Structure 1
Amino acid sequence: MRRRLYTDDHEAYRETVREFLAREVVPHHPRWEADRWIDRSVFSEAAKYGIYGLQIPQEYGGAGEPDYRYRMVVTEEIARVHALSFALTISLQDDLVLHYLLDLCTDEQKRRWLPGFATGELIGALAMTEPGAGSDLRGIRTTARKDGADWILNGQKTFISSGIMADAVIVAARTDPEAGSKGFSLFVVERDMPGFRRGRKLDKIGLPAQDTAELFFEDVRLPAQNLLGTEGRGLHHLMSHLPRERLGVSAKAIATCRAVFEETRRYCFDRQAFGQRLGEFQHVRFELAEMTTEIDVAESYVDRSALAFNEGELTAVDAAKGKWYVSELQSRVVDRCLQLHGGYGYMAEFPVARAFLDTRIETIYGGTTAIMKEIIGRELEG
């Protein structure tokens, strides 16, 4: 079945993305993985070629292009070259940080921060999770209290993607302990602010080049101009921006499914066993047939979700459906593909082995599978 999501313009853009990845990412990604660090210079090059930040308005140095399908093209092409650490960092900018900044910044804040993101000089992070608060955002203990016109921020965050590299961190904090769900606000903490300290770079089982960190805030003085959005509306801001984050997870997951499956399909029809190609065994053909069918069906849902997002119609529930189902499908597909590779599937030089570790997080971050089902179930309850 022919995929009809893209226009000729999207396919022309795909060629630009492929050329960029072949020149600036593929030769360096193994070193980044070994060093557990992505060269910052690649983000300036990526911004120059429009690989991310397309939605930034032209007046701030961007292309002013809101069509999410361009994000999908980037996601698919990065998955195709198996550079998943780089994929997550790019998604963090487009699907989280810039999504918040573009929606919530004042004109002054946009002038202050967006040009740096448009050139790739600024890298952002989103700090919600704490040692005692993950999916339950109401458990946030980081606080911000007013001191004259300023705010004083105290607390700790953990599992923060790009926490070491980030120049601007969007931090969720409790600003009124008596106000319940209306007692949270968002702030932008900038690099080198006194009292802002990075902890250790966390040692993950996958995505080694994508830095993840603990962050500490000890009496960080924030000017009033660093409040993001409306005071007391932080929880609302977080919840209203989750659909795009979850769409981003779905897009990465389906793109990785497709890329790993294609590697496995080629392997099965190249590899010889018992005098014939693996793919000539009925069991292997059935495994491949089941996976390609599931991928095609799930891909249709992701495509529909992207179009709904473009129209401003992607609901939190529909995003949750895609997030849990496609991320769980990814786990199943990658596991089955590894099995079809046999012993080679356990070797780190094979993309399927790296994907087995790199993708495991996707049923957890952005809201666990259980939380996604709870969101869907609550709507069904009415």
Structure 2
Amino acid sequence: MSARPPSRPPFDPYDPLGLDDLLTPEDLAVRDTVRDWAADRVLPQIADWYERGELPVIRELARELGSIGALGMPLTGYGCAGASAVQYGLACLELEAADSGVRSLVSVQGSLAMYAIHRYGSAAQKERWLPSMAAGEVIGCFGLTEPDHGSDPAAMRTHAKRAGSDWVLSGRKMWITNGSVAGVAVVWAQTDDGVRGFLVPADTPGFSAPEIRHKWSLRASVTSELVLDGVRLPADAVLPEATGLGGPLSCLNHARYGIVWGAMGAARSCFESALEYAKSREQFGRPIAGFQLTQAKLADMAVELHKGILLAHHLGQRMDAGRLRPEQVSFGKLNNVREAIEICRTARTILGANGISLEYPVMRHATNLESVLTYEGTVEMHQLVLGKALTGLDAFRG
């Protein structure tokens, strides 16, 4: 008698490809911990924070995120969780499903500021900053982008000059997440030896971080300018292991990886909102989910959403194996953010007029993703990264 084939699980509209089967029990535990935290601490208030254009409890949220191990997750030692890249990605997905601003808080803290110190800092710098940053007691920011230099950081004007054994920094940085609440800023500046990174405590004379207002995207996020007006730092403020643009670019690559996952969180929130709305909203005597055009939209959204999650998981496995290339991160960022925006826009059409209301998450995610689309590398820059990798020809200059 032939063996009976294993029974197939029922189709899950929220996991149509069965991607949860790819996750270990530890992965699922991390995901569920972050999902539960976001549901409890962010979702009930995020529409109000967004409408007000502020994140009033950012310091409290940072400490809570530290307590669940979400800050500097993939880093080891110094109070960091030492999680896998896949687990960090799942956390980013769940945080951005709540709001891009909260995921940005975590990304900048862990993948930019903490990663820079962990990768390029001295033993003393790591001991001084990382434990308190992992606990969320000190918030960090990352100063690379300038008012006139975003995609071309090599042309930055911020400079650091030697003054005896000290350094003196002058310049401005722009669009800096966490800037005005940070206790320490990782600032990149031109020196006679090339681009170097400096750790600037926020109470250093000459340093200020005025908050940027009037944003229509990432409204529940602290965004600032950094002003360095003759900031004098001791010799041990420089990151000793980073010389040249390779330092800050490696940090950005680490943060972009989190965006590959996070964008799918925003997309998932919009897809699930549209699916539930379509099943309950009636027109012409039946739920709009029963109409062919709506079903076509939902099917296309589901396909791109779960393809994007599968891509993110694949890149996470490559990162865990030490095989992830920057070009592959560009591949993921380019695809997943573009598709996430399209999913949000399609969800908006299903919700009709309700799609613009903060009673639903769709328009909030759509506007947030307009920032995610261009920060940490615009669409065009990632296209050119891939174009160079594919052709061997550099189209960035001349």
TM-score range, shorter chain: over 0.9
How far, CA to CA, are the matches of 2:240 and 2:389 in structure 1?
Answer: 27
Matched, 1:362 2:372: yes
Per-residue CA deviations over 1:235-261 (Å, capped at 9, x if unaligned) read 111223332221111111112112211
Residues 186 and 234, structure 1, Cα contact 8 Å, conserved in 2: no
Amino acid at match of 2:283: A
Q: TM-score, normalised by structure 1?
A: 0.93
| Partner residue in 2 for 1:256 | 266
Q: Structure 1 residues 346, 88: CA separation in 2 closer, same or farther (over 3 Å shift)?
A: same
How far, CA to CA, are the matches of 2:94 and 2:23 in structure 1?
Answer: 14
| Partner residue in 1 for 2:231 | 220
Deviates more, 1:200-209 or 1:22-31: 22-31
CA deviation after TM superposition for structure 1 residue 315, in Å:
0.8
Per-residue CA deviations over 1:287-334 (Å, capped at 9, x if unaligned) read 111111122222221111111111221111111111111111111111
How far, CA to CA, are the matches of 2:29 and 2:150 in structure 1?
Answer: 40
Q: Structure 1 residues 99, 300: CA separation in 2 closer, same or farther (over 3 Å shift)?
A: same
Equivalence map 1:6-155=2 (5 Å): 6-33=23-50, 34=52, 36-39=54-57, 40-58=59-77, 60-63=78-81, 65-80=82-97, 82-155=98-171
CA deviation after TM superposition for structure 1 residue 31, in Å:
4.5
How far, CA to CA, are the matches of 1:184 and 1:135 in structure 2?
Answer: 16
Residues 258 and 295, structure 1, Cα contact 8 Å, conserved in 2: yes
Residues 242 and 316, structure 1, Cα contact 8 Å, conserved in 2: no
Residues 158 and 214, structure 1, Cα contact 8 Å, conserved in 2: yes
Structure 2 unaligned segments of length 5 or more: list them.
1-16, 393-398
Name the SS for the 2:180 alignment partner: coil
CA deviation after TM superposition for structure 1 residue 223, in Å:
1.0
Residues 71 and 133, structure 2, Cα contact 8 Å, conserved in 1: no
Amino acid at match of 2:205: P
Name the SS for the 1:359 alignment partner: helix
Residues 130 and 140, structure 1, Cα contact 8 Å, conserved in 2: yes
Amino acid at match of 1:203: H
How far, CA to CA, are the matches of 2:288 and 2:118 in structure 1?
Answer: 50
| Partner residue in 2 for 1:339 | 349
Name the SS for the 1:288 alignment partner: helix
- Percent identity over paired residues: 29
CA deviation after TM superposition for structure 1 residue 30, in Å:
4.0
Per-residue CA deviations over 1:158-197 (Å, capped at 9, x if unaligned) read 1111111111111111102xxxxx6211111111100001
Name the SS for the 2:136 alignment partner: coil
How far, CA to CA, are the matches of 1:350 and 1:272 in structure 2?
Answer: 18
| Partner residue in 1 for 2:3 | none
Name the SS for the 2:225 alignment partner: strand
Residues 122 and 167, structure 1, Cα contact 8 Å, conserved in 2: yes
Residues 146 and 173, structure 2, Cα contact 8 Å, conserved in 1: yes
Q: Where in structure 1 do 4 or more consecutive aligned residues deviate above 6 Å? A: none
Matched, 1:205 2:216: yes
How far, CA to CA, are the matches of 2:342 and 2:48 in structure 1?
Answer: 29
| Partner residue in 2 for 1:320 | 330
Name the SS for the 1:51 alignment partner: coil
Amino acid at match of 1:36: E
How far, CA to CA, are the matches of 2:222 and 2:253 in structure 1?
Answer: 24
Structure 1 unaligned segments of length 5 or more: list them.
177-181
CA deviation after TM superposition for structure 1 residue 19, in Å:
3.4
How far, CA to CA, are the matches of 1:343 and 1:123 in structure 2?
Answer: 39
CA deviation after TM superposition for structure 1 residue 72, in Å:
2.2
Name the SS for the 1:199 alignment partner: coil
Q: Structure 1 residues 35, 296: CA separation in 2 closer, same or farther (over 3 Å shift)?
A: closer
Residues 56 and 118, structure 1, Cα contact 8 Å, conserved in 2: no
Per-residue CA deviations over 1:19-43 (Å, capped at 9, x if unaligned) read 3234333344345332612411121
CA deviation after TM superposition for structure 1 residue 55, in Å:
3.5
Per-residue CA deviations over 1:223-243 (Å, capped at 9, x if unaligned) read 111101446x13111223332
CA deviation after TM superposition for structure 1 residue 16, in Å:
2.4
Say how many residue pairs are matched: 373
Root-mean-square deviation (CA), in Å? Answer: 1.7
How far, CA to CA, are the matches of 2:366 and 2:39 in structure 1?
Answer: 23
Matched, 1:187 2:204: no
How far, CA to CA, are the matches of 2:383 and 2:80 in structure 1?
Answer: 37
| Partner residue in 1 for 2:11 | none
How far, CA to CA, are the matches of 2:260 and 2:46 in structure 1?
Answer: 23
| Partner residue in 2 for 1:246 | 256
How far, CA to CA, are the matches of 1:270 and 1:141 in structure 2?
Answer: 55
